[in-house]
């Protein structure tokens, strides 16, 4: 099964905007109520029966079941009988809110994620229609439950044979968007290693270096607008909480953040296509970017968005029929790509690789990318046919 997600910008009417905002508000209330139920149940089991706090304690029956998705979905159905606000929203949309909370709760335990947070107005940004029936897209319009036919900018057509399975409506600083999940019942084989290989080394001196000798400078997406962001957030401190002026300034800050995010994403896609146009197999380092984000250069690392770039590069490689693989990152700057000799550790101020054994000299990052390429070729069971000149 092949699944794609296409994103389009909506052009809703005033009435449709009110319906979207009402749906987001109800979803936020359901999330907060369900999360409060789970927190209360956990807090009621924290202390021993003979060692309760003398100030206050959560008291819930001993035989009360943990409020998981199934329990809360049943309670939601019962609550809709007496609550007209819950009736105003599609039932499946509210069920998906509970499923998302249940998934976040499980990730907290299994993947060591943080505790799910309560949602305020600006944090509940989207809701999803999990099932769509009939004709969904027609002549620049998309049909959504409750909203009816909504106009949108159809920037690209839906591919032939794909079926629209679900839709997610997203509120952003620049407007409302719809993300359509498309499915096609077809088996997609894995792309084998073939053709001309390219190794990529990422860093902060240059955004990346390729084994072909190409160096791409690192754009400073956040730093370029940091002063403007700082001035806006300084003004925000003096605005009254809940006032219209504060909301307007918050919207302005959000648009600036989205501009930074969109610029970074556009650069990543263009760079990924540029790399895929040069070779048939792409190799990168297997890096834990969470660790990178906690180091001395955490701000610059997060600004570069290396994790997002690798995700985009793997997608673009798959879409263009290129092989994408990850190799061990250890010691890539300590080995000569020409003779495989160990050259020792290099400090960050040393930007030139010079091998004492064979005399091969090149840029340090380019040499590391060539080592990554050689490791990738060896990992897929092929011999290195050509070393660096």
Length of the chain: 389
Q: Is 327 exposed, middle or buried (0-12, 13-18, 19+ CB in 10 A)?
A: buried
- Tell me the two tokens of residue 133: 């029936």
pLDDT at 141 over 90: yes
pLDDT at 385 over 90: no
DSSP per-residue letters across 42-80 = HHTTSS-GGG--SS------TTPPP--HHHHHHHHHHHT
CA-based nearest residue to 306, from 228, 216, 227: 216
Rounded CA gap, 94 and 97, in Å? 5
**Each residue of 225-243: pLDDT tens digit?**
888 999 999 999 899 988 9
pLDDT at 79 over 90: yes
- Tell me the two tokens of residue 269: 């896609």
Q: List Cα–Cα distances, 104 to 31, 78, 98, 182, 334, in angstroms.
A: 11, 24, 10, 24, 41
- Tell me the two tokens of residue 319: 């879409």
Contact 5, 180 (CB under 8 A): yes
DSSP per-residue letters across 294-355 = TSTTHHHHHHHTHHHHHHHHHHHHHHTT-EEEEE--TTTTSB-TTT--B-----TT--EEE-
Rounded to the nearest angstrom, the gap between the alpha carbon of residue 216 and the centroid of all alpha carbons in its chain is 23
**Each residue of 337-361: pLDDT tens digit?**
888 888 778 777 888 888 888 888 8
**Each residue of 164-181: pLDDT tens digit?**
999 999 999 989 999 999
Q: Which residues pair with 285 in a beta bridge?
A: 327
Over range 319-331, report the average pLDDT. Answer: 90
Tell me the whole-structure pTM to 2 decimals: 0.85
Rounded CA gap, 314 and 265, in Å? 14
Delineate the domains of the chain, giving CATH numbers in brackets.
Answer: 9-44+61-158 (no CATH), 197-222+257-379 (3.30.420)
Q: How many CB atoms lie within 10 A of CB 227?
A: 9
- Residue 221: its H or E element: helix 221-224
Residue-level pLDDT at 386: 43
State the residue for tokens 């790509």. 337
Contact 129, 140 (CB under 8 A): no
Rounded CA gap, 257 and 314, in Å? 25
Contact 85, 95 (CB under 8 A): no
Contact 17, 181 (CB under 8 A): no
Judged by average pLDDT, the poorest of 44-53, 193-202, 266-275 is 44-53
Helix (H, G, I), strand (E, B) or coil at 205: coil
Contact 355, 341 (CB under 8 A): yes
- Tell me the two tokens of residue 284: 């990168």
Q: How many CB atoms lie within 10 A of CB 96?
A: 18
Over range 87-102, report the average pLDDT. Answer: 94
């Amino acid at each position: 099964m092949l699944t794609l997600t296409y994103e389009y910008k909506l052009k809703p009417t005033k009435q449709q905007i009110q319906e979207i905002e009402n749906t987001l508000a109800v979803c936020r209330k359901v999330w907060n109520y369900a999360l409060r139920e789970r927190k209360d149940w956990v807090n009621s089991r924290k202390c021993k029966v003979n060692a309760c706090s003398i100030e206050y304690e959560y008291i819930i029956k001993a035989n009360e079941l943990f409020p998981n998705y199934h329990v809360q979905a049943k309670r939601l159905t019962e609550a809709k009988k007496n609550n007209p606000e819950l009736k105003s929203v599609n039932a499946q949309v509210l069920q998906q809110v509970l499923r998302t909370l249940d998934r976040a709760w499980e990730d907290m335990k299994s993947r060591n994620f943080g505790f799910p947070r309560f949602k305020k107005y600006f944090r509940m940004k989207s809701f999803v229609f999990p099932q769509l029936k009939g004709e969904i897209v027609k002549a620049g319009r998309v049909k959504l439950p409750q909203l009816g036919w909504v106009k949108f900018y159809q920037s690209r057509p839906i591919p032939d044979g794909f079926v629209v399975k679900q839709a997610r409506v997203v509120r952003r600083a620049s407007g409302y968007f719809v993300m359509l999940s498309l499915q096609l019942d077809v088996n997609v084989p894995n792309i084998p290693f073939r053709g001309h290989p390219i190794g990529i080394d990422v860093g902060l001196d240059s955004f990346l270096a390729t084994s072909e000798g190409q160096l791409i400078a690192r754009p400073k997406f956040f730093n370029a607008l940091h002063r403007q962001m700082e001035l806006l957030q300084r003004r925000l401190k003096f605005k009254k909480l809940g006032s219209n002026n504060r909301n307007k300034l918050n919207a302005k800050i959000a648009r600036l953040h989205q501009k930074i995010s969109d610029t970074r994403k556009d650069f990543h896609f263009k760079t990924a296509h540029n790399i895929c146009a040069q070779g048939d197999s792409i190799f990168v380092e297997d890096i834990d970017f969470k660790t990178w984000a906690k180091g001395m250069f955490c701000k610059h690392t997060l600004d570069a968005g290396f994790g997002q770039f690798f995700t985009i590069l793997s997608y673009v490689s798959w879409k263009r029929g290129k092989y994408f693989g990850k190799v061990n990152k250890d010691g890539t700057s300590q080995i000569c790509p020409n003779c495989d000799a160990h050259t020792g550790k290099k400090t960050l101020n040393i930007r030139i690789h010079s091998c004492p054994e064979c005399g091969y000299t090149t840029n340090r990052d380019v040499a590391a990318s060539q080592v990554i390429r050689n490791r990738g070729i060896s990992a897929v069971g092929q011999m290195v046919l050509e070393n660096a000149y």
